[in-house]
Chains A and B, each alone.
Chain A
Amino acid sequence: MDFGFNADQEMLRATARKFFENECTSDFVRARMAEDEGFTEEFWTKLAEQGWLGLVYPEPYGGAGLGFVDLTVLMEEMGRAVMPGPFFSTVLLGGLTLLEAGSDAQKKEWLTKIAEGQARVTLAWTEPSARWDAAGVTTTAKATGSGFTLSGTKLFVPDAHVAHALVVVARTAEGQNPEDGISLFLVPTDARGVSVTLLPTMDQTRKLCEVKLDDVAVPAAAMLGTRGGGWTPLTRVAQRATVALCAEMCGGAQKVLDMTTEYAKIRIAFGKPIGSYQGVKHKAADMLVDVENAKSLTYYAAWAVDENVPEAALAASMAKAYTSDAFRKVAGAGIQLHGGIGFTWEHDLHLYFKRAKASEFTFGDSTYHREKVAQLINL
C-alpha cells in the first residue's frame, strides 16, 4: 500500500511551485483580473513549454501521458497561485471531452493543438436553468441535409470569449430518458450565429460567458462521438474535471492556511502574537483538519479515476462534497483571523475567498454531491 506521491510527482510540485512564484505573482493575477482576456499569450506559451497543457493527454495526441494523480500535484500548485486563465476550461473541459468522445482524427488534431498552446476549447454545457443533469440540456441540434443546426442559450460557460472552439452539449432527440438524445458538437466560436458575451463575475480570475446559439449550422463531422450518445462521455468528463477542481481547491485552501498561520505569528494584540490565543489557535487547527481531510479525499479520488475503479464516481462526489465546504470555511476563517486587513482589496485573501465561492458551485455544491453519495451508497 502506498498512498503518497512518488519522487517524480514531488519534483513536479517543486518545479510548479517555483514557476508560479515567479510567473504568477499577485501583481500578475490582479492585472489579469482587470482585463477581459484573463490571461496572456506569453504566459500560455510558457504553460505549453512546461508540458502542462497536455499533461494528461496520451502521447500520440501530443500529451505527456501522465495521470490524474500527477495532475493533482499541478492543480494544487495552480490553486495555490490562484492562477487565472483558461487552463481549466481548455485542458479539463474542452480537451477532456474531446479525449473522451472524439474520433482519433479529432483527438489528433485538437488535443495536439491544445497541448502546444495553439488552441483553446471550452465546454458549453449548462444553461439558464443551472442544472447539471441531462434534463437541464434544452439546446437543440436539428438534423439538416448535411449536418445539424444548433439553437439555444448556454450560461456559465468558462472562457468562451477567448476560446477558438466550443464543445456544445445539445439535444438531438427528446425521449423518455433525458440522458438519451444528448449529443456533443465541436463548434468554432467564429461560426455564424454564435454570440459570446463576457459576464461580470465575483471571481474575476474565472471568466464566465453567456453563449447564444442562433441557428448555428455545423457539418455532420462536427459531432463528437455518436448521435445521442453524449451523456456517458460527458459524465466521465464531469467526474474527472471535478477531481481536478478539488485538487485546485485544496491548493488554495492550503495557501490560505499558510498565510493565516504566518500572520498569526507576527500580528501582536494585547502584547502577544494573536496565534498564542486559543480563540485563534483552535480556529487554525480546525482549518488544518479541513485542509488535510479535503486532500485525503481528493488524492483518493484522483487515484480512483486514474485506475477507473468502480468506486470512482463515489470517490469524486465525496471529494467535491467535502472540499466545497472545506475551502469555503477555510477561506472565510482566513479573513476572520486576519481581521480588517483581510477584508481589504489590497490583501490577496479575497482572491481565494472568491475562488472558493466560484468553485463551490462548479459541478455541483456539497448538498448536490452528498445526495449523489447517498444514491451511490444505496441509501
Chain B
Amino acid sequence: MDFTLTSEQEAFRERVRAWLESNIPDEWAKLGLSEVPRPEAYAFLRKWQAKLFDAGFIGLTWPREYGGQGLTFLEEMILHQEMALRKAPPILNVLGVGMAGPTIIAYGTEEQKQRYPAKILSCEEIWCQGYSEPNAGSDLASLQTRAVKDGDHWVVNGQKVWTSLAHIADWMMLLARTDPDAPKHKGITYFLLDMKTPGVTVKPLRQITGDAEFNEVFFDNVRVPESRVLGGVNNGWAVGLTTLMYERLALGFGLQVRLRISVDQLIDMARRMGKNGQALTRDPVMRQKLAQLWIDTESLKYTGARAVTKLLKGELPGPEASTGKMMWVETHQRLQELAMEIQGPYSQLVRGAAAAVDGGVWQYSFLRSRANSIEGGTTEIQKNIIGERVLGLPKG
C-alpha cells in the first residue's frame, strides 16, 4: 500500500491547482453554493465548461483524436478532487461527459466519434438521457417508446419522463423499442437523437425544489436517420447499460470530495448555531452525529481508492466498487437532514428571507437530495444489483 503520488502526478495536481486558482470566475461565488446546476447559472456554466475545454481540463481519459487528453484515470481523479476542493462550478453537460461521450467512443463508428465527443466536452452541444418512461423506471427494459424503420430513417413515437436538462439539450441518448417481438432486453436500440427534430416536444416538470430541472419529452413521428443508430440495431440494452466504470468512479471521487466539503460547511454552521447558550458542536449527541458523517465520508474515499487501485492494475474492481453510489446517497441525505436539524426552526426560512441561514442554500440542497436515492438507479435497484451480481443471489 502506498498513498503517495509520482512526481509527474504531483506536478499535474499543481498545474490544475494553479489554473483553478486564477480561472474560477469571481461571479461564481455570487451565484450561491449550489453543486447542482440551477437555471440561473446555465449561461455561466456553458462558458465555464468551454473554458475548461480550452485549457484541456475535461475529457482527460478520452483519446486525443476525439477531443480528449489521452491521460490516465489517475489524472482524472486528481482533477475531480481539485475541482471539488476549489469549489469549482459543476459541469453543466454532465450526462454528455459522463455517459454519452464515453458510450459513443466505445460503440460509435469513426464518423460518429469524429462528430460528437469534442462538442460534448466543449459544451457546444448539451446532452440528455432518454431512458425512463412513465411505465419504465427501475424496470427500464419494459420501455415502450417505439422506433419503426421507414426507408433510411426510423420513426419514433412515445414518451420519456424525468429527463434532466432536456429543456436545454441539443441531443438525446434515446432508447427505443425496435423489435416488439423479441424478449424485452433484446429489442431495444440506442439512438442519437437531435432534439430539434420536428415532432419532439419538451415539457418541463416542476420538482419539489420549485425548479424545473427535468422534463417530459414526447415523440410524435420523429424521424431519425439510420446513421444515428449507436452500436447496432437491437443492441441498445448492452450499449446503454455498459458499465462505465471509469466515468462513474471519477464522478464518484468528485462527489466524495464535495461531500467532505459539505461536512466541513455543516460543522462550520454547527459552530455558529447555538443551543441552550452553547455552540451546537459542544452538544454530545451532535458531536456523535457529526463524527459519524465524517467517518462515513472518509470510508467512501478509501472504498473508492480500493476500486481505483484494482482498475489501475488492470484488474476488475471487486465488491467495493458497487457500494459507492448507495453509500454516497445514504450519507448525503443524512448530511442534509442534519443540516436541517442544526438549523431547527430556521430550517423553514428559504432564499429571500433575510434571516435565512447561509442565504437559504441548505434548504435547496436538502430538498434536492431526496432525488439522490431515485436518480441513476434507485437504492432498491442498487441493492438488487449488489445482491445478484456481487453476492450471487438468485433473481426474484
CB contacts under 8 Å to B, within A1-16, are 1-5
**From B295, B299, B320, B387, contact of A281 by CB (8 A):** B387
Q: Mark A56-75, 1 if CB is under 8 A from B, else 0.
A: 00000000000001000000
Q: Is the CB of B291 within 8 A of A1?
A: no
With a CB–CB cut-off of 8 A, which chain A residues contact B306?
Answer: 3-4, 295-296, 299
Say yes or no: A288-B1 contact (C-beta < 8 A), given A276-B396, A321-B291: no
Count chain A CB atoms within 10 A of each CB in B292, B320, B391 and give the residue with the most. Answer: B391
With a CB–CB cut-off of 8 A, which chain B residues contact A293?
Answer: 296, 299-300, 303, 323, 327
Instruction: Tell me, yes or no, whether A282 is within 8 Å of chain B by CB.
Output: yes
Instruction: Tell me, yes or no, whether B149 is within 8 Å of chain A by CB.
Output: no
Shortest beta-carbon distance from A20 to chain B in Å: 22
With a CB–CB cut-off of 8 A, which chain B residues contact A292?
Answer: 303, 319-320, 323
> How far is it, in angstroms, between the C-alpha of A302 and the C-alpha of B3 when the chains are bound?
12
> How far is it, in angstroms, between the C-alpha of A371 and the C-alpha of B323 when the chains are bound?
26
> How far is it, in angstroms, between the C-alpha of A4 and the C-alpha of B290 when the chains are bound?
29
CB contacts under 8 Å to A, within B369-391, are 380, 382-384, 386-388, 390-391
> How far is it, in angstroms, between the C-alpha of A377 and the C-alpha of B260 when the chains are bound?
13
Instruction: Tell me, yes or no, whether B275 is within 8 Å of chain A by CB.
Output: no
Say yes or no: A321-B292 contact (C-beta < 8 A), given A4-B306, A281-B387, A293-B327: yes
Interface residues on B, range: 35 or more
Q: Is the CB of B323 within 8 A of A3?
A: no
> How far is it, in angstroms, between the C-alpha of A265 and the C-alpha of B395 when the chains are bound?
10
Say yes or no: A379-B281 contact (C-beta < 8 A), given A371-B291, A373-B291: yes
Instruction: Tell me, yes or no, whether B345 is within 8 Å of chain A by CB.
Output: no
**From B284, B295, B303, B391, contact of A284 by CB (8 A):** B391
> How far is it, in angstroms, between the C-alpha of A273 and the C-alpha of B391 when the chains are bound?
14
Q: Is the CB of B2 within 8 A of A297?
A: no
**From B281, B284, B288, B305, contact of A1 by CB (8 A):** B305
Q: Is the CB of A265 within 8 A of B392?
A: yes
Q: Is the CB of B309 within 8 A of A3?
A: yes
Instruction: Tell me, yes or no, whether A303 is within 8 Å of chain B by CB.
Output: yes
Count chain A CB atoms within 10 A of each CB in B288, B323, B393 and give the residue with the most. Answer: B393
Sample 20 A-B pairs with CB under 8 A, ordered by A number: A3-B306, A3-B309, A69-B1, A273-B394, A275-B391, A278-B387, A280-B393, A281-B391, A281-B396, A285-B383, A288-B386, A289-B327, A292-B303, A293-B296, A297-B299, A303-B3, A373-B291, A374-B287, A377-B291, A379-B281
Given contact pairs A1-B309, A288-B323, A322-B295, a sample of 11 additional A-B residue pairs in the complex whose CB atoms are under 8 Å apart: A2-B3, A4-B310, A276-B396, A285-B326, A285-B391, A288-B391, A295-B306, A296-B306, A296-B320, A299-B302, A370-B288
Chain B residues with CB under 8 Å of chain A are 1-5, 74, 267, 281, 284, 287-288, 290-292, 294-296, 298-300, 302-303, 305-306, 308-310, 312-313, 319-320, 323, 326-327, 380, 382-384, 386-388, 390-396
